[in-house]
Amino acid sequence: MAWHDGVIGVTSIASINGGDISNGTVVAVKGELTGRIGDVHTISSVGGGGFLVFVWSGDSPALGSIIVVRGTVESVLYLKDVTSVQVAWLFK
């Protein structure tokens, strides 16, 4: 049995954390929503191994949700100009 979330073409959080993606690059990343303080959020690689911080003032999914965030790489730890935060649905 295989699982797929239907999301193709996302950039890995590890690639951003490792400096492999240039600042200013527009990306979509997928991971687990692991933290929220006000509008400041963290998304972590599923299974660990990296995280990113971003600011989002719109509706925020529950902590622990698998999400896709679209924004611009500002540094190895931060996405700016986030345009969407969406829950990734799993299909089997």
pLDDT grade, residue 49 (50/70/90)? confident
Do 48 and 54 touch, CB atoms closer than 8 A? no
CB distance 76 to 18 below 8 Å: yes
For domain 13-87, the CATH architecture is: Beta Barrel (2.40)
Flag whether pLDDT at 57 surpasses 70: yes
Domain assignments of the chain as residue spans, ordered by start: 13-87
What is the distance between the alpha carbons of residues 57 and 36, in angstroms, rounded to a whole number? 11
Residues 6+ away with beta carbon under 8 Å from 92 = 1, 2, 3, 4
pTM for the model: 0.87
Compute the average pLDDT of residues 28-51.
94
Q: Mean pLDDT over residues 60-86, rounded?
A: 96
